[in-house]
Structure 1
Amino acid sequence: MDSFRIAIVQSKRDPYNCRLNTEKGLKIVREAKRREADIVLFPECWITGYEFPDFDKDLPLKEIERMPEYQQWFSRSLDEGSPYIRRFCELAKDLQIGVVITGFTRGRSRPQNSAFVINRNGKIILKYSKVHTCDFAGERLLESGSDFKVCDFDGVKIGIMICYDREYPESARILMLKGAELILVPNDCGAMFPRVQALSTRAYENMTGVAMANPPGENAGCSCAFSPIVWDEKGLPVDNRIVLADGMTEAVYIAEYDLRRLRNYRSHEMMGNTFRKVEAYAELLNDEIKEPFIRKI
């Protein structure tokens, strides 16, 4: 495979209607196939919606979990056998296309925020649950994932990180260390300008392609894809943007990566895992939080 085409979905979904979101998503997958995409990247929590039950932030989780609103919300959590997930698997197989589909899933004791990578044969080859849940907001109701994962899709090494994972350089760094060539980012948030800049930096510093899908909206949207290639053959800086959508347009954007060029660049440039001095990084594993970073949640 010399090139890889990602269909980046910048589209809205219903907050609570899994059936409706599934039908809309399947229609988008068909459109992506017509446009010769290799894989379709949906925003965060596409099937289930990314909404949370209303609750008093001062209530302990045990009390919140007994609320009817919580129980109703929890009941929408998916697993790999969910009929909604199976529909995407079946269509992926029929069309011979990959899909990254998302939703709240069942964790050990609470829901997780997850993405499934489905291959062209309709098989789930990776399930990733968001490690950096937003514990200062509604996501404190979720159970965090525990590791970052990479899968092989038609010989292309793909890693996943979800939304707030993007804010931590460790997320993309670990995916790079595990072999990721492309990092796909389901997302659902606003204030996108600094976040888009961060994704460009993640691509540059790890020598990986990075693509992000975000729903449209006021101060939102800005779905994007970046190449890791920031210098040309003469060593002159180049714009590494492949796709950068506006905030409001609902559309599917195609990001095409030249894999030969990307792999050649990764084989000789000086970022990624080339000259790291890991003996100096021990402090990264120190979990003590000091001022000014202590927060009361």
Structure 2
Amino acid sequence: MTTLTVALLQLDRPASESAATLEAGEAACRRAAALGADIALFPEMWSNGYRWVPLPERGAGNVYRHPDGWAGRPPVTVPAGGEGWHGEAVAADSAYVGHFRALAAELGMAIALTCFEEWPGAPRNTLFLIDRHGELALTHAKVHTCAFDAAEAALTPGDSFDVATLDTAAGDVRVGAMICYDREFPESARALMLAGAELVLTPNACDLERNRLDQFRTRAYENMMALAMANYAGAGWGHSIAFDGMAFGPDGSRDMLVVEAGEAAGVYPAVFDLAALRAYRSRETWGNAFRRPASYGALTSSEVTEPFVRETGEGRTFPR
């Protein structure tokens, strides 16, 4: 086989109880397996439905603003670790994750499970990639947490973009992950490409309007990688999408779109031709060969200059 199928699980946001997410998630995975999927991809933080409790006593709006943006506004206090999130955080060795590990082995299908993960200090926003044998192949915690937002300011960010070799019926595939806001930084996808990723799995939990969809297409184009993104269903949401990473063919420019969902809940298979992608990557000019890293010094600097300075109402700049 040279094709790989990723099932985009575009699901309604569940209740916060993990029992409900477990039942609905299992049903979606079984549907994905029946459709011939090699990998089932959940939306962001499936274990609690990416739900949080508003904290009105802390004020509304962004935690971090430009200094001029605080005029006349009450400060928004950064919540304590994990405060405000619905549901209990789950650990990698929890019964919840264990259930999906057993399910993956039963179905012979990899599962990209997303969780509100228990972590020292404060929970993380995490993807556990479980292989078709039920083993954990990759753990990715969201690096670019939306720290400007009170809810995600209470999470521990990840610190790397790692790639794993996933054993599938189509053979070994090099797989990485980005979570939601991660995909809005070109460095995320570039780091995954440099680490050898052929396929990048992207759980999401926000509206996917034209600009974000075009941005995601660009990540596939400039890195010659297959990208698959699963979002929650619902009005103004949905549009789970996949691109195959091959922007040009024998006849010139081509549409990289593999599948795009509407807003309705469902399981949407995205079929990738791995042989074609690998041949494309071996001959085309994007990716790594013609980069000039010695010229990119500013990319590794942590300095923030105007107009991008952001601080809390108390004058604390964004941690770096």
TM range (shorter): over 0.9
Aligned counterpart, 1:19: 19
The more displaced of 51-60 and 35-44 is: 51-60
Aligned counterpart, 1:237: 253
Aligned counterpart, 2:199: 182
List alignment gaps of at least 5 residues for structure 2: 60-74, 313-320
What amino acid maps onto 1:148 in structure 2? F
The alignment partner of 2:33 has SS state of helix
Deviation at 1:25, TM superposition (A): 0.5
The alignment partner of 1:70 has SS state of coil
Q: Does 2:151 correspond to 1:135? A: no
> Deviations for 1:91-115, whole angstroms, at most 9, x for unmatched residues?
1001110000001112220010000
- 8 Å contact from structure 1 (residues 192, 221) kept in 2: no
Q: Does 2:92 correspond to 1:76? A: no
Distance 2:38 2:208 in 1: 29
Q: 1:192-231 to 2 correspondence within 5 Å?
A: 192-231=209-248
Corresponding residue pairs, total = 290
The alignment partner of 1:256 has SS state of strand
Residue number among 134, 154, 158 corresponding to 1:122 in the alignment: 134
TM-score scaled by structure 2? 0.87
- 8 Å contact from structure 1 (residues 74, 111) kept in 2: no
Distance 2:3 2:233 in 1: 27
Q: 1:51-200 to 2 correspondence within 5 Å?
A: 51-55=51-55, 56-57=58-59, 58=75, 60-61=77-78, 64-65=79-80, 70=83, 73=85, 76-137=88-149, 138-154=151-167, 155-200=172-217
The alignment partner of 1:47 has SS state of helix
Aligned residues with identical type, % of pairs: 39
TM-score scaled by structure 1? 0.94
Q: Does 2:285 correspond to 1:273? A: no
Distance 1:223 1:210 in 2: 11
> Greater relative contact order: 1 or 2 (C-alpha under 8 angstroms, separation 6 or more)?
2
What amino acid maps onto 1:293 in structure 2? F
Change (3 A) 1:191 1:156: closer
The alignment partner of 1:292 has SS state of coil
Distance 1:17 1:193 in 2: 33
What amino acid maps onto 1:150 in structure 2? V
Deviation at 1:191, TM superposition (A): 4.6
- 8 Å contact from structure 2 (residues 208, 239) kept in 1: no
Distance 1:131 1:192 in 2: 22
> Deviations for 1:224-272, whole angstroms, at most 9, x for unmatched residues?
00011111124x10111001112x2111111001111010000000001
| RMSD (Å), alpha carbons | 1.6
Distance 2:125 2:250 in 1: 41
What amino acid maps onto 2:210 in structure 1? F
> Deviations for 1:264-290, whole angstroms, at most 9, x for unmatched residues?
000000001120011100110111111
Q: Which contiguous aligned blocks of 4+ residues in structure 1 show a shift greater than 3 angstroms?
A: 57-61
